[in-house]
Chain A
Amino acid sequence: MYTMNALQTENLSKQYRSGAFKKYNIPALDKVSLEVGEGEIFGLLGPNGAGKTTFIKIMLSIVHATSGKAEIFGQSIKIRSVRELCGYLPENHRYPQFLHGLDTLLFFGRLNGLSESELRPRAQTLLETVGLVQWAKVKTKKYSKGMLQRLGLAQALMNNPKLLFLDEPTDGVDPVGRKEIRDLLIGLKSQGTTIFLNSHLLSEVELISDRVAILNKGKVIRTGTVAEITSQKLSYTIQLSSHLPLALEERFKSSLPAFSYTDNRLDISLNDKTDLNPVIDALRTAGIGIDGMTQQKASLEDYFIKLVQGENNK
């Protein structure tokens, strides 16, 4: 069955111009091609300055692309009505300090084209959803960073968007708040909302994203599901019941990609799952009992750091 991509880019590039007479080109994105399916939670990862925010800004026409093609639900991003389908929480958002929380939502709802009859019930519901009902009539200048972040999320949801762009949505939010935001995003996904997430908190991206892309120096260097990305190498910890003979230790050292042994604990890495059987066979042949065995998965963070460092050293 054909499903439309929520977001699609083809060779999207952006070069900022700087200096006197704008003669210096600063590349921000370099031929980025991405596809995000409808209803997905997609995480865009990358170190600072990788081009993550620029990518989102291009999608929302805040920044103009230098070249390439970008579409949202099959329509060019240059069409104004495309933005009716989108919600956006920017990284460093500023809200009018003379408005209170409820008025802020009403104002942004009006900018989204909501009718007066729709505005108030929608704003009230969202204030409840993000836990700011009691702060509805308090001016935003009195809000904490975490509260502003929640208000920002409510603002982004005012038009009930089909595609939600979030740039560091949990920035400044406490762990409980983060969990609530994660649950909210999972709830939105279950309702069919596509979520495009920029975050440097990789553990969070790992928890909720269906697919991720890693961006470095404006280029996509890896795309895939979190499982695909993190299970590149299989690592196991085997707890032995007795001491490992030296001969066997030497054999493992020479044959396995990674090996360490301390206090009857064996940490090994394998290229393939089938390579595990010869290791267990060798232990049994040597008469060594196995008390326990666990598979260690590399975290997204581990993989990300290795990948980006590797790319930077090229």
Chain B
Amino acid sequence: MRFWGMFRFTVLETVRKGTLIFYFGIATLTLLLLAFGITRSPNDPELITMFGIPFGGKAMGNLGLVEFLLYMLHHQSVQFILLLGIFGVSGLIPDMLEKGTIDLFLSKPLTRMELLLSRSLGATAGIGLNLFYFFIGVWAVFGLKLGVWHWAFLSSFIYVFFAFACFYSVVTVVGLITRSTGFTILISFCFLFISWGLDAREHGLYLLWNNIVYHRLLDALYYLTPQLNAMLENSSRVIIKTALFPGMLDFTIMPFLCSLGSAVLMYALSIWYFSRQDF
């Protein structure tokens, strides 16, 4: 009851926060644009017009046109959605720690672990609602306008949501330590870039210094933190069944499993730190 009370409150807070309403607005606008911008030619069922640009035939190899469009849309939008999501809910942990708020929460018969987890999961669920709105909207637009009900696209929501949930464990640690919304947003954004860098470390960061210790350190960092970029890439690959270009890997569950481990580690660290603090 107490856990769900805080969870429910946090979900409500994420929905009522101005930034998430803004995000909701952007998502709605995107969906409306898609709804009006996509049409299938009545004369040629193989021809799809998207914002006035005609697409026809097979996109690439055996890849269907709708799959290709959904893949591109997914690939281009998830990073942006994630950035907006972080902007919207990064402040929830520092807000909770503000003087006058945390006193009230900690005086209630909740353990600090319950308080932190209910808050973090509530924030994740809030973003999940927004994500789901976008995914189901795109799915419905493609279904209604093009007659393709692409279930794989809809199911990719689960992977994106999971990636965000793992990423939020980092946001939680940073929020707890800095107790500042600004710093939390800044460091979370930095982590996004670091995550991209770590994912492609063999072609980038490794080349900066040819030292085995440095390389292993980067590896450790990669496996100890959520593998955000790898998870998002793989969530896009759920949509297509064939490789788009030579060398492109198939969907793999490994980044999700590793990230789950690192998220558990991050939350354990957060709970330990939070339990020792005075407010």
Contacts and interface: CB of A to CB of B under 8 A. Distances in A.
Interface of A: 16, 57, 60-64, 80-84, 86, 88, 90-96, 98, 107-108, 110-115, 155, 165
7 contacts: A60-B107, A62-B278, A63-B278, A80-B111, A88-B104, A113-B2, A114-B1
Contacts of A92: 99-100
B101 interface: yes
Contacts of A93: 100-101, 103-104
B109 interface: yes
B112 to A, nearest CB: 9
Given A62-B102, A94-B101, A111-B6, 6 more contacts: A88-B103, A90-B104, A90-B107, A94-B98, A110-B9, A115-B1
B55 to A, nearest CB: 44
A136 B2 CA distance: 23
A113 B98 CA distance: 23
A94 B100 contact: yes
B9 A96 contact: yes
Given A90-B104, A93-B104, A63 B1 contact: no
Contacts of A110: 1-2, 4-6, 8-9
B108 interface: yes
B105 interface: yes
Given A63-B278, A110-B5, A111-B5, A90 B109 contact: no
B8 to A, nearest CB: 8
B16 interface: yes
A297 B264 CA distance: 64
A91 B98 CA distance: 13
B13 interface: yes
A269 B278 CA distance: 48
Nearest to A63: B278
B279 interface: yes
A110 B101 CA distance: 16
B268 interface: no
Nearest to B106: A62
Nearest to A54: B278
A86 B111 contact: no
Contacts of A165: 107
B93 to A, nearest CB: 15
B110 interface: yes
Contact of A57 (B103, B105, B276): B103
A61 to B, nearest CB: 7
Contact of A90 (B8, B12, B100): B100
Contacts of B109: 80-84, 111-113
Contacts of B13: 96, 98
Contacts of A91: 100
Interface in B89-137: 98-111
A129 to B, nearest CB: 19
Contacts of B108: 83, 108, 111-112
Nearest to A60: B107
A62 B1 contact: no
Given A111-B6, A112-B2, A83 B107 contact: yes
B132 to A, nearest CB: 22
A94 B108 CA distance: 15
Nearest to B101: A94
Contacts of A98: 12-13, 16
A161 to B, nearest CB: 10
B106 to A, nearest CB: 5
A237 B228 CA distance: 81
A111 B105 CA distance: 8
What are the 7 closest A-B residue pairs judged by CB atoms, nearest first? A110-B5, A94-B100, A88-B107, A111-B108, A90-B103, A83-B109, A63-B278
Contacts of B6: 110-111
A165 B103 CA distance: 12
B106 A60 contact: yes
Contacts of A16: 278
Contacts of A96: 9, 13
Nearest to A98: B16
Contacts of A107: 5, 9
B5 A155 contact: no
A62 B9 contact: no
Nearest to A110: B5
Interface in B1-35: 1-2, 4-6, 8-9, 12-13, 16
Contacts of A95: 104
Nearest to A90: B103
A62 B103 CA distance: 6
A25 B203 CA distance: 49
A288 to B, nearest CB: 61
Given A107-B5, A110-B2, A112-B2, A64 B278 contact: yes
Nearest to A115: B1
A203 B118 CA distance: 43
Nearest to B111: A80
B100 to A, nearest CB: 4
Nearest to B17: A98
Given A81-B109, A88-B104, A111-B105, A63 B279 contact: yes
Contacts of B99: 92, 94
Contacts of B16: 98
Contacts of A60: 103, 106-107
